[in-house]
Structure 1
Amino acid sequence: MPSDTAHPAERINRPAADVYAYVADPRHITDWAPGLGGEVEQIDGEWFVDTPGGQVKVEFAPPNDYGVLDHHVTFPNGDGFDNPLRVVPYGEGSEIVFSVRRTPGVSDADFARDTDAVAADLVRLKKILESS
Structure 2
Amino acid sequence: MSTESRHLSVHIDRPVAEVYAFVSDPRNLPRWAPGLGSSVVREDGEWFVETPEGRARVTFAPRNEYGVLDHEVVTPSGQTVYVPLRVIADGDGCEVVFTVRRAPGMTDAEFDRDAGLVSADLALLRKVLETSST
TM-score after normalising by structure 2: 0.94
Match of 1:119? 119
Alpha-carbon distance in 1 for matches of 2:30, 2:105: 27
Q: CA deviation at 1:81?
A: 1.1
Residue identity matched to 2:5: T
Q: Give ranges in structure 1 of 5+ residues lacking alignment.
A: none
Alpha-carbon distance in 1 for matches of 2:19, 2:52: 28
Write out the 4+ residue segments of structure 1 that deviate beyond 6 Å after TM superposition. Answer: none
Q: CA deviation at 1:77?
A: 2.4
Alpha-carbon distance in 1 for matches of 2:60, 2:36: 15
Matches within 5 A, 1:1-132: 4-132=4-132
Q: CA deviation at 1:67?
A: 0.3
Superposed CA offset, 1:45-80 (max 9, x none): 100000111100000000001000000010122220
Query: What secondary structure sits across from 1:100 in the alignment?
Result: strand
Alpha-carbon distance in 1 for matches of 2:46, 2:95: 28
Alpha-carbon distance in 2 for matches of 1:14, 1:85: 17
Q: Give ranges in structure 2 of 5+ residues lacking alignment.
A: none
TM-score after normalising by structure 1: 0.96
Superposed CA offset, 1:66-123 (max 9, x none): 0000000101222201000000001110000000000001100110010011011001
Alpha-carbon distance in 2 for matches of 1:12, 1:4: 26
Identity rate, percent:
54
Residue identity matched to 1:45: G
Q: CA deviation at 1:37?
A: 1.3
Residue identity matched to 1:34: P
Q: CA deviation at 1:40?
A: 0.6
